[in-house]
């Protein structure tokens, strides 16, 4: 069974969702939690069985799907994707467990389980078309979640979300078809396998064009400035569960795809675009932080801060060295945990007061001390306090990029510190001072259901902040092989110089060899 | 004294006529049955039509075997031409018809199905389309085209609503114009080459190195107009939405599939040799036609308030998308055309059948058309399964993987990329994104809005077991298309490649 664990992980929730149509409405939550729990245990088993010393793909599965056009059902995980898969199953479990939604809960849980299938599928796919299938399919459940359970502007928000991402990914599809055609020209055979594409060395001008085509798809998903405008709407209108999954997992698809596609496929183009993208990333960090500071709605603050931190991830990815890329992969996990938790926390107060305006609150720390504590921890984690999970990732990202450019890193670092202001200000407005609003006097502190979601997240946020090694090490191993591959493939002297050569180090098995 | 003409029967190769003859015999026997005993139930005629179509399909599959062994089969003084694309397109025509004819088995009574002539005309029409694709003789193409079109006009008008009459007359007028253009174009081709057979015309033109290029271009202008009408290319598309709106949903769905594949095959035979011999003007015109058809119809579809009209514009857009194959002209592109159309027929069949089962006899007060978006509002709350099905077909039409049409789109865009039409590939991709909006609109209405009072009584009003079966078949074909793509691709590539396209 362990040989087919990835297929199991992908299709188990989908199958369960289909059977879920039969379950009655009252029992649906228990059913959803059970399924998500089994799935989570399966993903932990995957981690247990995963060999952290091997840097290449593990648990590979292959089945011809459309051999005439080189499309295969090809799955595998390495250190980069392993933890994001676990993060997806973890968040689906937490999301369903702490679900407070009451309207049409059956539809919602079935949709979430389908969404889980697509999320795991994206991170496990090693064939570009299979990746694309799950990538696109993930839009549909999210569209439904935002559109059916969201706020007053939900339809506008959901369509904007869908069309933006859909447009970007269609351009990406053209890019993928180009890659397959280049592969066909080079070898006489069609192939969409990413691992086989890795072997292809493209001329630099083709790399630039293809990089742009892929970039458009990924950048909209991340979302990078200036393609970020769909995200505040989506977050603002989505129900809590939608925002949690969107921030924690769906956005990671974009950054993950950069590491999986853009860097190893187009090393020269990555170096070429390194500084423009770094500048966009820094704009993202500063600009969205400023916008976040101006928000009156706490959920928008969290949403913009989430975009701001995505900028740090991008910066780390385009450091193009082991520290930066490992840091960005780690920060993806950290950002997932922290921003997911923050959205859950916002959901808690929204359920009680049905408003997200910060001016409505004040002095909550006296009324809801436990809530204030967890919110405080997560907020500290979000601004990157040492010994919290975000710090490790942000530090590594900046360290990585420091090797490429001191000035830009310095700017980014300052921006991140200054960015703490808006979080602290928001926290102050909501939690400190005296209770001025009558409606807040008798608010209940966290309930059992809410603890169920928040306690595990708090534990993870602190545990991985203090001791990140069990996660960081497998990531590091896999990232090293990606960087080595990039270095070997790079043609221009600048790329050779910018991407470090790790071949002197021992114990690295390159991706091709493992394959 | 004329010499007696001696033609051995064997040289005629009458077998090449068999598939069409089966359909014609089927039609005649339906008429005969009606003569013997009147007033029989439509289910009988549906089943008889199905049986004859099944025989027809059997004959075609048999031909497919012969083709793979011996290559192209000629017959009847080389007028009949059973090559790979003729066989493939006939299989799509007959297969599509077999899926559509059971749509007559509605639970409500409809005027047109009380006439056995309806089914006879239906079979005559199929025979017409089959003649049209199984020849490269311009005259026989014309005969086939007109047989089929005249039958189709009548079928539309039989729906017995004032809008249907309007649709039929509109279609007839436009069709007559197209026929005129076609005749004129063929005339010029005959005048400069002395032949009415496309491959001979191609040979003659190539031999004198296109010295008559001016005349060729004039004739091509007429031909493009003629096929522009039949394929509803912009700007010859104006009849399409009205005709679709006026015909029953079942027939509208049929019109979006079967007549178009027949026209595509003829367009392929007629235009591709010219594109390949580097007639730049034709390339440019086709390029513009493809892009404008795709884009403009997508934009019109955005503003429609009726689902059927939206689907009409969307089918124009799909036709434009597929027309790109004729411009690209590689084997991969032509394979893509057939693959796309085979997958499209399943999805579109499902979409139009969903409209058909929700057909209402009388409009509500204030309702402007048969299927306004509001009708489907909040459907997921009243009929969840039906809403999911409809959403499935919409997602497939929008090209969301892994549903049927995505694979067709992917292969078509892939063929554009391989042939070096990068800009075209991007335009095709971006058009899919525009199209996403109006398909999504229906999903938004069904899943995200509250139900409207009054409409729920019409949901599945028209449904019967056979209609539900058809929806089921379409859904299975749409969801599991990924497993059918590889065998389809292999077979289609073999057929298209061996026919020299």
Are A178 and B437 in contact (CB < 8 Å)? no
CB-neighbour burial class of residue B177 (10 A; exposed 0-12, middle 13-18, buried 19+) = middle
A376 within domain boundaries: yes
A287 within domain boundaries: yes
B189 — phi, psi (to 5°)? -60, -40
Facing residues of B372 across strands? B306
Pairwise CA distance, residues B185 & B195, whole Å: 13
Kindly provide the residue ranges of all beta strands, DSSP E only, lying in A18-102, ordered along the sequence: 58-66, 71-77
Residue pair A512/A57 in contact by the 8 Å Cβ criterion? no
Are A158 and B425 in contact (CB < 8 Å)? no
Position with higher pLDDT, B367 vs B80: B80
Q: Is the pLDDT of residue B106 over 90?
A: no
Work out the average pLDDT over B419-436. Answer: 91
Short-list B150, B409, B370, CA closest to B244: B370
- Nearest by CB to A136, which of B400, B437, B449? B400
A34 within domain boundaries: no
A171 within domain boundaries: no
Facing residues of A297 across strands? A357
- Name every residue whose Cβ is closer than 8 Å to that of residue A339 and which is 6 or more positions away in sequence: A247, A248, A302, A305, A306, A309, A382
Residues of A in contact with B440 (CB under 8 A): 143, 159, 162-163
Q: How far is B303 from chain A (nearest CA, A)?
A: 16
A345 within domain boundaries: yes
A132 — phi, psi (to 5°)? -60, -40
Our CA dihedral for A119, A124, A130, A131, rounded to 10 degrees, sits at: 60
Short-list B301, B275, B298, CA closest to B287: B275
Are A163 and B433 in contact (CB < 8 Å)? yes
Q: How far is A178 from chain B (nearest CA, A)?
A: 6
Pairwise CA distance, residues B497 & B487, whole Å: 15
A504 within domain boundaries: no
Give the highest mean pLDDT range of A82-86, A293-297, B34-38, B197-201. Answer: A82-86
Q: Which two tokens stand for residue B11?
A: 């040289």
Q: Which SS3 state, helix, strand or coil, does residue B247 take?
A: coil
Rg (CA), chain A: 22
A322 within domain boundaries: yes
Each residue of B255-267: pLDDT tens digit? 999 999 999 999 9
- Nearest by CB to B437, which of A64, A144, A163? A163
Work out the average pLDDT over B220-231. Answer: 91
Which residues 43-102 of A have a C-beta within 8 angstroms of B?
64-69
Q: Which two tokens stand for residue B399?
A: 């090209």
- Nearest by CB to A68, which of B395, B440, B490? B490
Short-list B158, B344, B180, B314, CA closest to B251: B158
Chain B within 8 Å of A350 (Cβ-Cβ)?
no
Find out whether the peptide bond into B402 is cis, omega within 30 degrees of 0: yes
Q: Is the pLDDT of residue B492 over 60?
A: yes
Residues of A in contact with B490 (CB under 8 A): 68
Q: Which two tokens stand for residue A189?
A: 């055979």
CA angle A33, A38, A43 (to 5 degrees): 120
B484-488: which pairs have CB atoms within 8 A and are 24 or more residues apart? B485/A66, B485/A69, B485/B339, B485/B343, B485/B407, B486/A64, B486/A65, B486/A66, B486/A67, B486/A68, B486/A69, B488/B339, B488/B342
CB-neighbour burial class of residue B13 (10 A; exposed 0-12, middle 13-18, buried 19+) = middle
Average pLDDT over chain B, rounded to an integer: 89
**What does chain B come to in residues?**
501
Are B400 and A139 in contact (CB < 8 Å)? yes
Least confident of A498-512, B217-231, B366-380, B419-433: A498-512
Percent helix, strand, coil in chain A, to 5, is 75, 5, 20
Please state whether beta strands A71-77 and A58-66 pair in parallel, antiparallel, or not at all (unpaired). antiparallel
Residues of A in contact with B407 (CB under 8 A): 66
A388 within domain boundaries: yes
Please state whether beta strands A71-77 and B73-75 pair in parallel, antiparallel, or not at all (unpaired). unpaired
Domains of chain A: total = 1
Q: Which SS3 state, helix, strand or coil, does residue A184 take?
A: helix
Pairwise CA distance, residues A309 & A318, whole Å: 15
Short-list A292, A297, A305, CA closest to A353: A297
Per-residue confidence (pLDDT) for residue A505, from 0 to 100: 60
Pairwise CA distance, residues B81 & B74, whole Å: 5
Per-residue confidence (pLDDT) for residue A450, from 0 to 100: 85
Mutual angle of helices B116-133 and B258-276, in 10-degree steps: 10
Work out the average pLDDT over B353-372. Answer: 81
Q: Minimal Cα distance from B493: which residue of A? A: A68
Q: How far is B433 from chain A (nearest CA, A)?
A: 5
Pairwise CA distance, residues A31 & A17, whole Å: 10
Our CA dihedral for A187, A189, A190, A192, rounded to 10 degrees, sits at: -60
Residue with tokens 């740090």: A312
H/E segment holding residue B487: helix B481-498
Residues of B in contact with A133 (CB under 8 A): 401-402, 406
Residues of A in contact with B386 (CB under 8 A): none
Pairwise CA distance, residues B231 & A305, whole Å: 52
Q: How far is A32 from chain B (nearest CA, A)?
A: 20
3-state secondary structure B316-366: HHHHHHHHHHHHHCCHHHHHHHHHHHHHHHHHHHHHHHHHHHCCCCCCCCC
Domain range enclosing A434: 273-466
Q: How many CA atoms lie within 13 A of B79 on its CB side?
A: 15
Each residue of B233-292: pLDDT tens digit? 888 888 999 999 888 888 999 999 999 999 999 999 988 888 888 788 888 999 999 999
Per-residue confidence (pLDDT) for residue B4, from 0 to 100: 77
**Ramachandran quadrant class, B421 (left: phi over 0; alpha: psi -120 to 50; beta: rest):** beta
Are A155 and B448 in contact (CB < 8 Å)? yes
Residue pair A123/A332 in contact by the 8 Å Cβ criterion? no
Q: How far is A181 from chain B (nearest CA, A)?
A: 6
- Nearest by CB to B401, which of A133, A162, A177? A133
CA angle B195, B199, B201 (to 5 degrees): 40
Residue with tokens 């539809």: A107
- Mean pLDDT per 10-residue segment, chain A (515 residues): 87 92 89 94 92 85 89 91 93 89 87 94 93 93 90 89 91 92 90 90 89 92 87 89 91 92 91 92 88 88 89 91 92 92 90 84 85 91 88 90 88 84 87 82 83 89 90 90 89 85 60 42
Please state whether beta strands B80-82 and A58-66 pair in parallel, antiparallel, or not at all (unpaired). unpaired
Q: Exposure string (b/e) for B198-235, b if CB count within 10 Å is 16 or more?
A: beebbebbeeeebebeebbbbbbbbbbbbbbbbbbbbe
CA angle A373, A378, A379 (to 5 degrees): 95
Residue with tokens 């969702």: A17
**What does chain A come to in residues?**
515
Residues of A in contact with B430 (CB under 8 A): 167, 170-171
Residue with tokens 């708090």: A458
- Nearest by CB to B433, which of A69, A107, A167? A167
Are A171 and B380 in contact (CB < 8 Å)? no
Residues of B in contact with A68 (CB under 8 A): 486, 489-490, 493
Residues of A in contact with B340 (CB under 8 A): none
Are A181 and B417 in contact (CB < 8 Å)? yes
Residues of B with CB under 8 A from a CB of A: 380, 384, 395, 400-402, 406-407, 410-411, 413-414, 417-418, 422, 425-426, 429-430, 432-433, 436-437, 440, 443-444, 447-449, 482-483, 485-486, 489-490, 493
Q: Which SS3 state, helix, strand or coil, does residue A109 take?
A: helix
Per-residue confidence (pLDDT) for residue A9, from 0 to 100: 92
Chain B within 8 Å of A105 (Cβ-Cβ)?
no
Kindly provide the residue ranges of all beta strands, DSSP E only, lying in A129-243, ordered along the sequence: none
Q: How many CA atoms lie within 13 A of B236 on its CB side?
A: 24
Are B444 and A158 in contact (CB < 8 Å)? yes
Pairwise CA distance, residues B128 & A281, whole Å: 62
């Amino acid at each position: 069974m362990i040989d087919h664990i990835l297929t199991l992980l992908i299709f188990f929730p989908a199958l369960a969702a289909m059977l879920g149509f039969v379950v009655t409405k009252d029992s649906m939550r228990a059913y959803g939690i059970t399924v998500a729990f089994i799935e989570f245990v399966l993903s932990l088993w995957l981690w247990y069985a995963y060999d952290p010393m091997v840097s290449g793909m593990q648990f590979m599965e292959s089945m011809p799907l459309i051999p005439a056009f080189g499309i295969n059902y090809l799955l595998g995980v390495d250190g980069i994707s392993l933890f994001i898969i676990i993060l997806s199953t973890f968040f689906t479990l937490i999301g369903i467990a702490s679900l407070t939604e009451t309207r049409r809960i059956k539809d919602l849980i079935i949709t979430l389980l389908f969404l889980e299938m697509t999320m795991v599928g994206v991170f496990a796919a090693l064939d570009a078309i299979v990746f694309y299938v799950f990538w696109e399919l993930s839009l549909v459940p999210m569209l439904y979640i935002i559109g059916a359970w969201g706020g007053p502007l939900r339809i506008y928000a959901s369509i904007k979300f869908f069309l933006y991402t859909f447009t970007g990914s269609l351009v990406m599809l053209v890019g993928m078809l180009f890659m397959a055609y280049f592969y066909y020209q080079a070898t006489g055979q069609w192939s969409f396998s990413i691992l086989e594409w890795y072997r292809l060395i493209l001329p630099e001008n083709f790399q630039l064009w293809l990089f742009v085509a892929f970039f458009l798809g990924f950048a909209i998903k991340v979302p990078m400035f200036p393609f970020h405008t769909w995200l505040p709407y989506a977050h603002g209108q989505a129900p809590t569960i939608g925002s949690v999954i969107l921030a924690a997992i769906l956005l990671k698809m974009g950054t993950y795809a950069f590491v999986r596609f853009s860097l190893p496929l187009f090393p020269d183009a990555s170096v070429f675009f390194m500084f423009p993208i770094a500048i966009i990333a820094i704009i993202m960090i500063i600009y969205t932080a400023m916008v976040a500071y101006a928000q009156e709605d706490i959920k928008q603050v969290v949403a913009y801060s989430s975009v701001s931190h995505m900028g740090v991830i991008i910066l780390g990815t385009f450091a193009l060295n082991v520290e930066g890329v490992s840091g960005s992969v780690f920060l993806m996990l950290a950002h997932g945990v922290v921003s997911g938790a923050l959205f859950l926390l916002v959901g808690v107060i929204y359920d009680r007061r049905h408003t997200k305006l910060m001016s409505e609150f004040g002095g909550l720390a006296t009324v809801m001390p436990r809530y204030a504590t967890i919110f405080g921890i997560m907020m500290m984690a979000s601004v990157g306090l040492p010994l919290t999970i975000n710090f490790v990732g942000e530090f590594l990202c900046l360290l990585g990029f420091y090797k490429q450019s001191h000035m830009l890193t310095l700017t980014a670092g300052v921006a991140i510190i200054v960015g703490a202001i808006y979080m602290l200000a928001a926290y102050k407005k909501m939690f400190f001072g005296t209770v001025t609003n009558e409606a807040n006097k008798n608010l209940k502190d966290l309930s059992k259901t809410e603890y169920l979601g928040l306690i595990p997240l708090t534990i993870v946020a602190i545990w991985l902040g203090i001791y990140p090694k069990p996660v960081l090490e497998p990531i590091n191993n896999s990232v090293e092989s990606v960087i080595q591959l990039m270095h070997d493939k790079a043609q221009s002297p600048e790329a050779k110089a910018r991407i470090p050569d790790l071949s002197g180090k021992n114990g690295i098995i390159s991706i091709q060899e493992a394959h | 004294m004329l010499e007696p003409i001696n033609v051995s029967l064997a040289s005629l190769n009458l077998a090449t006529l068999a598939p069409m003859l089966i359909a014609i015999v089927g039609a005649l026997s339906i008429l005969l049955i009606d003569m013997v005993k009147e007033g029989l139930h439509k289910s009988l005629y549906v089943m008889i039509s199905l049986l004859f179509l099944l025989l027809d399909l059997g004959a075609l599959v048999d031909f497919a075997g012969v083709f793979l062994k011996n290559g192209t089969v000629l017959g009847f003084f080389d007028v009949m031409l059973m090559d790979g694309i003729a066989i493939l397109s006939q299989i799509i025509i007959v297969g599509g018809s077999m899926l559509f004819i059971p749509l007559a088995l509605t639970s409500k009574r409809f005027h047109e199905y009380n006439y056995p002539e309806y089914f006879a005309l239906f079979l005559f029409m199929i025979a017409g389309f089959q003649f049209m694709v199984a020849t490269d003789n311009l005259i026989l193409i014309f005969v086939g085209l007109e047989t089929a079109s005249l039958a189709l006009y009548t079928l539309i008008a039989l729906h017995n609503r004032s809008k249907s009459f309007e649709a039929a007359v509109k279609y007839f007028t436009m069709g007559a114009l197209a026929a005129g253009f076609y005749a004129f174009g063929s005339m010029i081709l005959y005048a400069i080459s002395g032949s009415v057979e496309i491959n001979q015309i191609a040979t003659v033109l190539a031999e004198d190195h296109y010295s008559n290029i001016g005349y060729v271009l004039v004739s091509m202008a007429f031909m493009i107009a003629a096929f522009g009408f039949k394929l509803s290319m912009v700007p010859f598309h104006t009849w399409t939405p009205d005709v679709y709106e006026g015909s029953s949903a079942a027939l509208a769905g049929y019109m979006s599939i079967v007549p178009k594949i027949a026209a595509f095959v003829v367009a392929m035979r007629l235009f591709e040799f010219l594109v390949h011999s580097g007639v730049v003007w034709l390339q440019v015109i086709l390029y513009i036609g493809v892009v404008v058809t795709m884009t403009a119809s997508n934009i019109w579809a955005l503003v429609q308030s009726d689902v059927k009209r939206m689907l009409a514009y969307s089918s124009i857009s799909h036709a434009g998308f597929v027309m790109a194959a004729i411009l690209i002209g590689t084997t991969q592109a032509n394979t893509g055309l057939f693959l796309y159309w085979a997958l499209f027929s399943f999805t579109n069949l499902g979409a139009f059948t969903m409209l058909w089962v929700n057909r209402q006899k009388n409009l509500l007060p204030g309702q402007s058309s048969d299927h306004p978006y509001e009708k489907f509002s909040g459907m997921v709350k009243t009929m969840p399964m039906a809403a999911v099905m409809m959403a499935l077909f919409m997602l497939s039409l929008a090209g969301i993987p892994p549903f049927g049409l995505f694979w067709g789109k992917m292969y078509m865009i892939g063929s554009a990329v391989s042939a070096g039409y990068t800009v075209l590939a991007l335009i095709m991709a971006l058009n899919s994104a525009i199209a996403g909006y109006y398909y999504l609109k229906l999903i938004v209405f069904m899943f995200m809005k509250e139900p409207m009072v009054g409409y729920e009584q019409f949901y599945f009003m028209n449904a019967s077991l056979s209609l539900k079966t058809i929806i089921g078949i379409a859904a299975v074909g749409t969801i599991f298309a990924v497993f059918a793509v590889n065998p389809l691709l292999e077979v289609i590539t073999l057929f298209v490649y061996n026919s020299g396209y």
